[in-house]
Amino acid sequence: MEKTKRNYRDTLTIAWRCLLLSCRNPETFLTSILLPALMMLLFVSLFGSLIHVGGTSYTAYIVPGVLIQCAAQGSSTTAIMINQDITSGIMSRFATLPIRRRTLLSGHVLEAYGRSLVTSAVVLLIALLMGFRPALSLPGLGISFLLLSGMILALSWLSATVGILSKSAQGASSLSSLAIILPYLSSGFVPAEHLPPLLRTFARYQPMTPVIDSMRAALAGAPTDAGTLAAALIWCAFLTVVFYPVSVLAMQKRLSR
Amino acid sequence: MEKTDVSIFVSSLKKSYKDKEILKDVTFSVPTGTIYALLGSNGAGKTTTIRILTTQIRPDGGTAHIQGFDVAKEPEKVHRVISLTGQFSALDESLTGMENLLIMGRLHHLSAPEKSAVRLLEYFDLSASSSRRVSSWSGGMKRKLDIAMSLVGSPSVLFLDEPTTGLDPQSRLAMWQIVRRLRDGGMTVLLTTQYLEEAEQLADQIGILHRGRILAQGTPSQLKSLLPQGAVRFTFRDQEDLRCAAFLLGKWQTSSHPAECALTVFTDGRADTLRELFRHLREGHISVRKFSELSPSLEDVFLTMIKEEKSYGKNKAKL
C-alpha cells in the first residue's frame, strides 16, 4: 500500500518535471498550442467550401480528426523528450534512485496526457469560435472524453516505446510523425468513401477511424453505433495494454546496454 | 568481508559485449571514508566498472558488494546507499538549480526536499544562481550542481565518473576541494580519471585499469615508486649495436624497437643516471646515432611495461 502510494508520488514528480520542461520549451508550446489552433483554422478555411459532408458543417465534421491528430502530435513530443532523457543520461541517473523505473515512463505519459488535454481545449475553443456547437448531452460528452483520453494514452505509450528504441531525437521525431499522418488516412478529414480504394480499406481497419466516427456521433448528439464504439474502445485498450509493458521492457533493456 | 571497514568490495569482475571482453579481471576494495581512483585511458573499462557497481548492468562473472549489499542480487538496497555522477552532466538545463535539486529530493522521498536543496546550494556556493535556469550557468557550476544532485539523500558511497573531464583548471581545483571535503565528512568516493595528476592529488588509493585488468594498485607514493620517472631513447647504427646496448644497460628497464634500431630506457629521471647510461655505452664502444629524452605518459609507460611483462617475464607492474 505504502509502495503504491510512493509509486504514484514518483509518477507525479516526474510528470511535474516534464510539465516544467514543456512549458519552457518554445517548440513544445508551439506544437501544443499554436499549431492546433492554426490547423483548425486552416482546414476549415481551405477545404471547408470544397469538401461537403452530409448533414453537418465541415467544422463539426473535422473536430474529432483534429483532436486525434493533435494528440498524435503531442505524443511525438513525448517520444522526443523520452529519447533526450535517455541520451542525456538523466534516465540513468534516475534509474539509480530508490524508485521503480516504470514510474519514469508513466510520469512522461501522464504529462503527455495533461498536455494533450490542454491542446484539445485549444482546438475546441477555436472550433466553438468557428461555429461548432456540440450537443450538450452528458453521455455524449462523456463518451467523447473517454475516447479522446484512450487515444491519447494509447498514442503516448506507443511514442514512449518509439522514444526508447530510437537512437536519436531525430529518429524518435520522424518515426512518431507517422502517427500524425494516420488521421489523414482515416475518416477524420474526408469521408472514408471518398478515399481511393486501397486507402479506403486501410482507413476502415485502422484504429483511428472507429474512434473518430464514435466521437463525431457522440458530439453531434447522434446515437453512437455500438459496434464502432466497441471497436474504438478495444483498439485504445489494446494499444495501451501492448505498448505499456513493451516500453517498460525496452527501457530496462536500453538502460542496461 | 568486513561490512564496517570496506565500503566497496569488488572481486574478479568480468564483462563482455558480444565478443569483446571489456572487463577481464577487476578486483579491488575501498575502505570506508577514503577516495579510490580508477585510473586508465579511454576504453580501459572504467565506465563499465562504474555501471556494474551502480547496478545499471550485470557482470558476466565475479561479485561486487557495496556496503555489504550484492549489486547483482540486491540492487534496491544498493540504490539506497549509493549515488552516481556520470561522465556527462545529467541535469535539466531548462530548469533552475533549485528545481533540479527539488526533483531529486522528491524522488528520494525526503520529508523536506526544499530544506535539503537550500542546504546543498549553500554548500556548493550556488545560492546566488539558484533561481536562474541552468542553461545560463558555467561549466564548472553545472558540474557542481551535478554533484550536489548526487548528494541528495545523503549517500554513503559516491561514484564520480571522470568528474573533471572538460573543466577549466580553476574549476578542476574547486572540484578536487569538494571531493576531499566529502571524504573528510566520511563519504566513500570512487572516481575514475584519465589524469595521473588528478589521481595523485585526490586518491588515497589508486588502481590502474588497463584493458579490463587492474595492473597496479596502491597509494600514490607506492605507485610512483613503480613508475619510471623518466625515459630516454637511443637510436643505433645497426642491430648488432642495439643488442649490445640492451645487454649493457640490462640493469635498467628497457624496451627495444628493432625496426628502428632504437632502445627505450626507463630511468629515475636524474641527470647522473644519464651520465651512467652514456658511460656504459662508451665503454662498450657503441656509438649513438640519435638520442632523445621522452616524457613518459602513463599510457606509454604501461604499454611498455605490459610488453616487458610478456617478453622478459619481468613483472614490475604488479604489486
DSSP A139-153: HHHHHHHHHHHHHHH
Containing domain of residue A156, as a range?
2-255
Q: Crossing angle, helix B113-123 and helix B139-151, to 10 degrees?
A: 140
How much is the pLDDT for A195? 87
Cα A8 to Cα A21, A77, A104, distances in angstroms: 20, 23, 11
Q: Which of B84, B87, B103 sits opposite A13 (nearest CB)?
A: B103
Cα A67 to Cα A47, A193, B87, B280, distances in angstroms: 17, 21, 42, 88
Q: Crossing angle, helix B97-107 and helix B113-123, to 10 degrees?
A: 130
How much is the pLDDT for B310? 53
Number of domains in chain A: 1
Q: What is the pLDDT of residues A75-126, one digit of tens each?
A: 999 999 999 999 998 998 898 888 888 999 999 999 999 999 999 999 999 9
Asked if B56 lies within 8 A of A256 by C-beta distance, the reply is yes
Cα-Cα end-to-end distance for chain A = 32
Query: B58 at the A interface (CB within 8 A)?
Result: yes
Asked if A24 lies within 8 A of B82 by C-beta distance, the reply is no
Chain B residues with CB under 8 Å of A13 CB are: 103, 106-107
How much is the pLDDT for B307? 56
Chain B residues with CB under 8 Å of A10 CB are: 106-107
Closest by CA to A72, choosing from A198, A207, A168, A165, is A207
**pLDDT tens digits for chain B (319 residues)?**
444 589 999 999 999 988 888 999 999 999 999 999 999 888 889 999 999 999 989 999 999 999 999 999 999 899 999 998 888 888 999 999 999 999 999 999 999 999 999 999 999 999 999 999 999 999 889 999 999 999 998 899 999 999 888 888 888 998 999 999 999 999 999 999 988 888 888 999 999 888 888 888 888 877 766 666 778 889 999 999 999 998 888 888 888 888 888 998 888 878 888 899 999 999 989 989 999 887 655 555 555 555 555 554 444 433 3
How much is the pLDDT for B299? 54
Taking the C-alpha atoms of residue B218 and residue B225, their distance in angstroms, rounded to an integer, is: 10
Nearest-Cα distance to chain B for A239, in Å, is: 29
CB pairs under 8 A between A and B: 69
Taking the C-alpha atoms of residue B246 and residue B252, their distance in angstroms, rounded to an integer, is: 9
How much is the pLDDT for B298? 55
How much is the pLDDT for B301? 54
pTM across the whole model: 0.81
> Low-confidence residues of chain A, pLDDT below 70?
none
**Domains, chain B:** 6-218 (3.40.50.300), 228-295 (3.30.70.100)
How much is the pLDDT for B305? 55
